Structure 1
């Protein structure tokens, strides 16, 4: 998916800790839609705490936009914490399955060699196809995909970006803002 390049905008990932209740994902996604922000990717799953889920939402934004949407997310009742993660201070990975044409022994061997170079795995072999699984950062996935395009990519399935801060910082450190917004939420 090619996008026009805007020098003011870059890809940001928001880590959002929410109460694990029905409709919370829909509520957060509607906020983005109301504000006119396009979600590039969204990943959700459980956490180490009961009844708590974590969302990782990637959007193309400038600094003002990302700060505004983070502040709006913090105001939602089921939201417990929000952190803006950038590539320099976080680990960001995605998982991709790439089905590629491999009609003869030579092409199969070349695809397998490429997969090995990128530390990807061949997870399915068909008479005329190979399916490659790769886990890594966006640039690693893009590089392998570009090389496999020469063989004919039949299909790609990708997760969104999964992200966590480097070092000792955690999403749970965002307590001051959480308490400020929770006061108003609990009064309702």
Structure 2
């Protein structure tokens, strides 16, 4: 029988009981290599990035926001935040999970194949989730759904037995609530 390997604070979070999901917002200069440095910090520590989105948010300043969803112990997430802050072209790191007042949304396009009753059921359930039909053929639909990641997960779970064929997700976009910047 193999003894469990001891895990550093940076090791994969799998199997730890106090693992938490965190959403980090990182304001960076929009220049080549910045994303690679940020992702390299995660991979170098053995942490998985569950979702990653990047977009320019201040054109005149050439700033982009990187939104990262990851899991880890509270201590490890805190350490990642401190290490991100040390990367030179980073202006601000905010743990939106700790701020507690943030909104997360994601866009998904879901292709579902179906005929007859399965097709009718897929349309009925899509309407209940407020999913929009963006393409239709006689054999399939492509639904567009925007919402919290958990809403998209729930929709996927009910579409699988009805003929889920393919899926594309944008990743999480998040922002703090209220008048103050995150």
The corresponding residue for 1:45 is 55
Q: Which of residues 21, 24, 30 is equivalent to 2:34?
A: 24
The corresponding residue for 1:15 is 25
Q: Which of residues 68, 71, 92 is equivalent to 1:81?
A: 92
Unaligned runs of 5+ in 1: 172-188
Q: Tell me how far 1:11 sits from its aligned partner.
A: 1.0
SS at match of 2:58: coil
Tell me the TM-score normalised to structure 1 length: 0.84
What pairs up with 1:74-113 in 2 under 5 angstroms?
74-86=85-97, 88-104=100-116, 106-113=117-124
The corresponding residue for 2:9 is none
In structure 2, how many angstroms separate the alpha carbons of the residues matched to 1:116 and 1:169? 35
Q: Tell me how far 1:5 sits from its aligned partner.
A: 6.4
C-alpha RMSD over aligned residues: 1.7
Tell whether 2:138 aligns with 1:127. yes
Q: Tell me how far 1:4 sits from its aligned partner.
A: 5.8
Unaligned runs of 5+ in 2: 1-12
In structure 1, how many angstroms separate the alpha carbons of the residues matched to 2:59 and 2:74? 31
SS at match of 2:180: coil
Q: Tell me how far 1:165 sits from its aligned partner.
A: 0.6
Tell whether 2:66 aligns with 1:55. yes
In structure 1, how many angstroms separate the alpha carbons of the residues matched to 2:84 and 2:102? 20
Q: Which of residues 145, 149, 172 is equivalent to 2:156?
A: 145
In structure 1, how many angstroms separate the alpha carbons of the residues matched to 2:126 and 2:37? 39
CA distance 1:167–1:80, change in 2 (3 Å) = same
Q: How many residues align?
A: 168
Tell me the TM-score normalised to structure 2 length: 0.86
Deviating runs (4+, > 6 A) in structure 1?
Answer: none
- Cα deviation digits, residues 28-55 of structure 1 (max 9, x gap): 1111111221111100001135200000
In structure 1, how many angstroms separate the alpha carbons of the residues matched to 2:181 and 2:86? 20
In structure 1, how many angstroms separate the alpha carbons of the residues matched to 2:15 and 2:104? 21
